[in-house]
Amino acid sequence: MIFTPSSLTGAYVIDLEIHEDERGFFARSCCVREFVQYGLRSDFQQCSISFNKHAGTLRGLHYQAAAHAEAKLVRVTHGAIYDVIVDLRPESPTFKRWFALELTAQNRRQLYVPEGFAHGFQTLTENSEVYYQISDPYVPESARGLRWDDPAFGIRWPAGPRVISDRDQQYPDFKG
């Protein structure tokens, strides 16, 4: 695996090292030893899938409150997304900054999202499927969110959302 630091402290883009032959290819998508070398959590407790029927679907920005904060390893198994993270750690030099990249089934890139970040995405194709490995179990009482278009962050999305939940539209402005 090739770990490339993003512009946000502690977040990494992870590219697979693909070994190909006439059968196809083989690649590791997670290795505890390598994650530890980079100071990343690798004790994933939960895996989740988000299937999205329509291009333009926007999910997020989501995170869990401190006691149940999650690190995530995100990849796309079908389709394509514009993946966005926001650093919400007040002590971080990249506090309130955002980072985005395209994750696709074809590029097989992954995004490591540290604890203390909000995460969201917009689908770029129909029938996109996103696979998450998550460090901590989901705790509904700790679920939080930020509005996708909050002026505190100025995120540049590919387009306005075509499909978005009422909950994701109604998050309050960021106060921090």
pLDDT digits (tens, 9 = 90+) for 59-118: 999 999 989 999 999 999 999 999 999 999 999 999 999 999 999 999 999 999 999 999
Secondary structure of the chain as H, E, C letters: CEEEECCCCCCEEEECCCEEECCEEECCCCCHHHHHHCCCCCCCCEEEEEEECCCCEEEEEEEECHHHCCCEEEEEEECEEEEEEEECCCCCCCCCCEEEEEEECCCCCEEEECCCEEEEEEECCCCEEEEEEECCCCCHHHEEECCCCCCCCCCCCCCCCCECCHHHHCCCCCCC
- Please confirm, yes or no, whether 82 is among the known catalytic residues: no
Task: Given the residues 38, 78, 131, 132, select the one marked as catalytic.
Answer: 132
Instruction: Provide the strand spans (E) within 105-166.
Output: 110-113, 117-123, 128-134, 143-145
Task: Given the residues 38, 62, 78, 131, select the one marked as catalytic.
Answer: 62
| Global model pTM greater than 0.85 | yes
Q: What is the mean pLDDT of the chain?
A: 96
pLDDT at 176 over 90: no
- Please confirm, yes or no, whether 19 is among the known catalytic residues: no
Give the pLDDT score at 52.
Answer: 98
- CATH classification of 2-169 is 2.60.120.10, yes or no? yes
Residues 7-24 pLDDT 10s? 999 999 999 999 999 999
